[in-house]
Amino acid sequence: MTQFSQQQTTRNQSIQKDREHLSRQEHAEAMKAIEGLPPKLRADPEVLYLSALCYEQFHRYPDALHAAERCAKITKRIEPIVVVARVQRLMGKTEEALETCALLKRMKPNEDLFDFIRTGVLEEGGRFQEATEVLEPLVEKYDAAGVERPMAMKLEWSKLLVQNKRYDEAIELIDDIVSTEGMPEGVINPQLHLKAKACDRKKDFAGAWEAAEKANEIGQLEFDPELYEEQVSVLIENWSREAMERFPISTCESEMPVFVAGMPRSGTSLIDQIIDAHPKAAGVGELATIEGFARKLGAAYDSDKAPPECFGRYNALRWTRAANEYVREIEKASPPGSERVVNKALGNNKLVGLIARLFPKTRIIHAIRDPRDVAISCFMGGFNNRLHPWTTRADWASTAWQQSMRMMTHWKAALDVPVLDVHYERLVAEPETEFPRIIDFLGLEWDDKCYDFHKSKRTVRTLSYDQVNRPLYTSSSGRHANYAEQIAGVEFPHYDPFERAE
């Protein structure tokens, strides 16, 4: 056998093995097999396509996009372009995704799937009317012909029915979807959370709670409040002011990085949008770069050694390098002229100490909201149970809230970087005071465009995507009152955002 024949055989066997892994949903095995291939084979268009599918499953969206675009450029096939559209949607690249959908439609005008993708892009971009105008005629066409609606259509239509306040129709459709034989839990869970949203908005609070409870039972992991408190105690001890004085510190001088820390569903997305609306500022959403660096530090950490030796090869030079790489990353992701760029990653409350050592000139905004409202919103929201198991029970959420406050209290006492407390209730009740206070904290001059944050065409890839595209409203303050019966036995700490002026 010639060398070329051997390479072809290896290629074909590898592709067949990867396809078998993907058909069985064995994405980790498929990814491992792909990454073990020689560089030349990994550049093969078919391997690039399979790589894109794997990266998409692991939420490695930039890698997925790169692989799919390379494959599409070589082959001109529709399949990798579909992946490009999906990944652009997942990355919040609304305009790019719409352009890709238009390209797909030109290539294959009668393919409805491309309209389903386009609908999802528009809906997640807060453009509900446009999304409805795309999908509703197709729904009517299928119904008139007596043809079963494709599942992709059903899933997009259920969301639009909720957005269009057609709650009873939405609930009926959702019940049909979740009762479909063989429906994966990955579809059932978000659909039940969508049902909870529909019931909540039609003021059927018992029905909303029941739907969310069923959703949270799927893949629910045990959360140990006492263990979590111990873990926070260890974090506080390890990151005491005395210990941090011996930690590496970067020489990064940039004032651009800004971070929002606190509990999810505490107004973090609203703060992000307000800042992003300023002409000299931008938001990068929940960028997980610092969390990635923290994991590397954790893997290298040796508790038997004193700082800075405990971090192994991660000396001050490497901390500086990581900080400068992050600054370049957010510069690339932000409009030209951005002087402040805010990151609202969910794990920031645990990383404030690290953030302060990476970016000595950073500013931290601490988002705070009534713990009862946080518990309800998290319970209803559909978080990743594996990453945030405490969101699946109100009493666990209460514990997580208290520990988050404990961490932030520690950071404010142990660090010299400025931290601004922003209470959600004040933010929505007194925007004429609170909005300028945030912008002033960032060292920027006030701009009235910040009041028009909801007019932004930027897509927010969080659970709040259909809220931050609306004008400011106060109806979510005190939301817990609607669920007084369901949380009656849960102990929450005292909270009054208007108790005293800061």
User: Quick check: 288 and 345 in contact, CB under 8 A?
Assistant: yes
- What is the percent of the chain with per-residue pLDDT over 70, rounded to a whole number? 92
- What is the percent of the chain with per-residue pLDDT over 90, rounded to a whole number? 76
Reply yes or no on whether the pLDDT at 3 is more than 60: no
pLDDT of residue 39: 80
Tokens of 114: 């491309």
pLDDT of residue 9: 66
| C-alpha to C-alpha distance for 336 and 322, rounded to whole angstroms | 22
What distances in angstroms separate CA 119 from CA 115, 122, 128, 143, one per listed residue?
6, 5, 9, 18
Q: Which fold has domain 1-91?
A: 1.25.40
Do 1-91 and 225-483 have matching folds?
no
Reply yes or no on whether the pLDDT at 414 is more than 90: yes
| C-alpha to C-alpha distance for 242 and 72, rounded to whole angstroms | 54
pLDDT of residue 1: 47
CATH number of this structure's domain 225-483? 3.40.50.300
Q: How many CA atoms lie within 13 A of 480 on its CB side?
A: 18
pLDDT of residue 104: 97
Higher pLDDT, 470 or 32: 32
Boundaries of every domain in the chain:
1-91, 225-483
Long-range contacts of 479-486 (CB under 8 A, 24+ apart): 479/373, 479/376, 479/377, 480/370, 480/372, 480/373, 480/375, 480/376, 482/200, 482/203, 482/205, 482/376, 483/205, 483/209, 483/376, 486/205, 486/209, 486/394
Over the stretch 28-54, which tens digit does the pLDDT of each residue have? Answer: 788 888 777 778 777 889 989 988 998
Q: For the chain, what is the mean pLDDT?
A: 91
pTM of the model: 0.85
Higher pLDDT, 11 or 205: 205
The reply to whether omega before 389 is within 30° of 0 (cis) is: no
SS3 343: strand
- Ranking 130-139, 384-393, 433-442 by mean pLDDT, the lowest is 384-393
- Ranking 98-107, 186-195, 317-326, 466-475 by mean pLDDT, the lowest is 466-475
3-state secondary structure 232-277: HHHHHHHCCHHHHCCCCCCCCCCCCEEEEEECCCCCHHHHHHHHHC
User: Quick check: 369 and 424 in contact, CB under 8 A?
Assistant: yes
Phi, psi of 458 (to 5 degrees): -70, 135
Which residues make beta-bridge pairs with 364?
A: 259, 419
Over the stretch 333-367, which tens digit does the pLDDT of each residue have? Answer: 899 999 999 999 999 999 999 999 999 999 999 99
| pLDDT band (50, 70, 90) for residue 219 | confident
Helix, strand, coil % (nearest 5) of the chain? Answer: 60, 5, 35
Reply yes or no on whether the pLDDT at 384 is more than 80: no
Over the stretch 283-322, which tens digit does the pLDDT of each residue have? Answer: 998 888 999 999 999 999 998 999 999 999 999 999 999 9
Tokens of 422: 């922003």
Higher pLDDT, 69 or 6: 69
SS3 346: coil
Mean pLDDT of 471-479: 73
pLDDT of residue 227: 97
| C-alpha to C-alpha distance for 37 and 181, rounded to whole angstroms | 38
Reply yes or no on whether the pLDDT at 81 is more than 50: yes
| The one-letter amino acid at 495 | Y
pLDDT of residue 24: 75
Reading phi first (left if > 0) and then psi (alpha if -120 to 50, else beta), residue 342 is in: beta
| C-alpha to C-alpha distance for 140 and 172, rounded to whole angstroms | 17
> Helices H, strands E: what count in the chain?
23, 5
What distances in angstroms separate CA 387 from CA 56, 384, 461, one per listed residue?
18, 5, 17
pLDDT of residue 492: 97
Reply yes or no on whether the pLDDT at 15 is more than 80: no
pLDDT of residue 473: 62
User: Quick check: 228 and 400 in contact, CB under 8 A?
Assistant: yes
DSSP state of 502: -
pLDDT of residue 499: 78
| C-alpha to C-alpha distance for 398 and 404, rounded to whole angstroms | 10
Over the stretch 251-266, which tens digit does the pLDDT of each residue have? Answer: 999 999 999 999 999 9
Reply yes or no on whether the pLDDT at 502 is more than 50: no
pLDDT of residue 396: 97
> Which helix H or strand E contains 367, and what residues bound it?
strand 363-368
Which residues make beta-bridge pairs with 283?
A: 342
Which residues make beta-bridge pairs with 367?
A: 262, 422
